[in-house]
Amino acid sequence: MKRYFLLLLVLVLGFFLVSCDGEEEIEGNGEIFVDKEWDIYPTEHTLTQPVEIDFWSANSAVDIHGITQADLVERFNQYQRETYPDSYIKVKISFQGGYVNQNTKLQAALIGKTNPEIAMVGVSSFSIYWDNAIDMRQIYTYDEIRDIHEGFLQFAMYKHKFIGYPFYAATNVFLVNRTLAEATGLAVPTVAEIIADPENSYWTWDYMKTLTKKISDETEEGVYGLASTGPALYESFYTQGLPIYNETATQVLFNNEAGIRTLTYWRELVAEGNMENPVLDPNHGTKIQGKFVEGKVGLLWASSSAIKSVYENVYENRVAQGLDPLFEMDVLPFPKYKNFYSNQSGGGLIVFNNKSENKTKAAIEFLRWLTAPEQTAYFSINTGYLAATKSATQTEIWQEYAQINPLLDRTIALMDFAPEGDLKIPLGRAKALADDDFAKYVKGIYYDDLTRDIKAVLKECADRVQYILETNGW
């Protein structure tokens, strides 16, 4: 009897360990297009009575993003009332004022099951909701997923689940004052030229340093060739064909020669006068965008979400007043070491799996309507987020806007530069926190008049990030 009791205890403990630590049993993040038939939710309206659902946005209610989202929600609600008067869906939208607030509130709400049916979440936080999300492959067919630009699927998969739809698509680019850059006499490539022949492109990190140095040296005092808040993490390493963390974001991989090369490059930009030291002014990050509009910066590292507002100030608003543009504005990708790479940023939409069948169906119907080509294009051209799908950029409203502002189209074209070969985007619960701490600690290269030891700064940064990965990787 004692022997059987011990055997039963072992089995129970074994089940408990697997249940509590189930994520550890899953290796890697998996691929989207697996050989599997998915049980997809109905694509037609199957509700038989009115249903109300909640949608939480991470934006503010008073910025252009929140206003446009509220407008789209009202359009959907009106369409539902007119089309299905006896079984319409009503979406209630609320605004949380930032991704951090959104995550805090969502995680608290999930405990008490008071969470919304659908929510906007930053791409770096998708993995937090692995247990709580419906797999997007139960909502969209493989053909519909292939309509999404590959570069906007970098964060889709976590532990073999497609967690969030990349509706709030963004990336990092260089905004370019082409007038200022070409005045140096050096060639400045276009996006079309780079995409046409990336292997033979001269747009390398060394060439960018030469160009920005020439802009700084040959223009008036106070004009810099490049402006940035600090070293670019993913772009600096992924253009070398190297990872920064392992695939599950539990191990630092940048404390090496590639890390030394990266930090040395970014400090030399300041030391050689190409770039203003980003740690001397606490408001540096906000000021450099203004300086770019004023024509005092040749290349500005920025999120693509800034393109629309900057372009309006440089070009659209002035032309509307009968004035000449301030200068010719363009975009360029981060240069290459071995290859080009465009990161994915922004956010996506998650449908939660703890709601009733009718509310879940309603959330999915709303999601499908919102991500259809017309709505995607409308949201993009009004907010500056990038249109995630190819079909959205083929709509009439997008084509008309692209005649006024071609820069969003050019930026989307860069999303073909996804990670190459076996290189994977790290996805893990601590990734977003780790990225934030990297950005803080790596700035040590700029303190004490640029005299700190590069290797020491890199090690301190790596140690800190490793600590974050280990203590928050639950």
Cβ-contact 298, 330 below 8 angstroms: no
Please calculate the CA angle 453-230-167 and round it to the nearest 5 degrees.
140
The residues near 47 (Cβ < 8 Å, ≥ 6 apart) are 84, 87, 89, 358, 361, 362, 365
pTM above 0.85, yes or no: yes
Cβ-contact 376, 243 below 8 angstroms: no
Res 10: pLDDT? 36
3-state SS class at 329:
strand
Sort strands 118-122 and 157-158 into parallel, antiparallel or unpaired: unpaired
d(C-alpha 52, C-alpha 276), whole Å = 52
Cβ-contact 202, 189 below 8 angstroms: yes
Cβ-contact 389, 147 below 8 angstroms: yes
3-state SS class at 294:
coil
Say what angle helices 357-370 and 373-383 make with each other, to 10 degrees. Answer: 60
The residues near 67 (Cβ < 8 Å, ≥ 6 apart) are 61
What is the H or E stretch that residue 46 is in? Answer: none
Q: Which fold has domain 51-170+344-416?
A: D-Maltodextrin-Binding Protein; domain 2 (3.40.190)
3-state SS class at 91:
strand
Q: How many CB atoms lie within 10 A of CB 374?
A: 14
Res 28: pLDDT? 75
> What are the tokens at 311?
């372009």
3-state SS class at 174:
strand
* β-bridge mates for residue 440, sequence order: none
Res 385: pLDDT? 95
At residue 442, φ and ψ (nearest 5 deg) are -70, -20
Of 140, 145, 91, 139, residue with least CA distance to 119: 91
Sort strands 161-162 and 157-158 into parallel, antiparallel or unpaired: antiparallel
Amino acid type, 4: Y
Amino acid type, 245: Y
Radius of gyration of the chain (CA): 24
What is the H or E stretch that residue 309 is in? Answer: helix 307-311
> What are the tokens at 420?
């190459």
Q: Where do you find CATH 3.40.190.10 in the chain?
A: 51-170+344-416, 172-342+421-471
User: 185: phi > 0 → left, psi -120 to 50 → alpha, else beta; which?
Assistant: left
Res 27: pLDDT? 72
Cβ-contact 327, 254 below 8 angstroms: no
Question: pLDDT 10s digit of each residue in the chain, 474 long?
Answer: 434 333 333 333 333 333 344 444 567 788 999 999 999 999 999 999 999 999 999 999 999 999 999 999 999 999 999 999 999 999 999 999 899 899 999 999 999 999 999 999 999 899 999 999 999 999 999 999 999 999 999 999 999 999 999 999 999 999 999 999 999 999 999 999 999 999 999 999 999 999 999 999 998 888 999 999 999 999 999 999 999 999 889 999 999 999 999 999 999 999 999 999 999 999 999 999 999 999 999 999 999 999 999 999 999 999 999 999 999 999 999 999 999 999 999 999 999 999 999 999 999 999 999 999 999 999 999 999 999 999 999 999 999 999 999 999 999 999 999 888 888 889 888 898 999 999 999 999 999 999 999 999 999 999 999 999 999 876
Cβ-contact 217, 224 below 8 angstroms: no
Amino acid type, 257: E
Res 2: pLDDT? 38
Q: Which fold has domain 172-342+421-471?
A: D-Maltodextrin-Binding Protein; domain 2 (3.40.190)
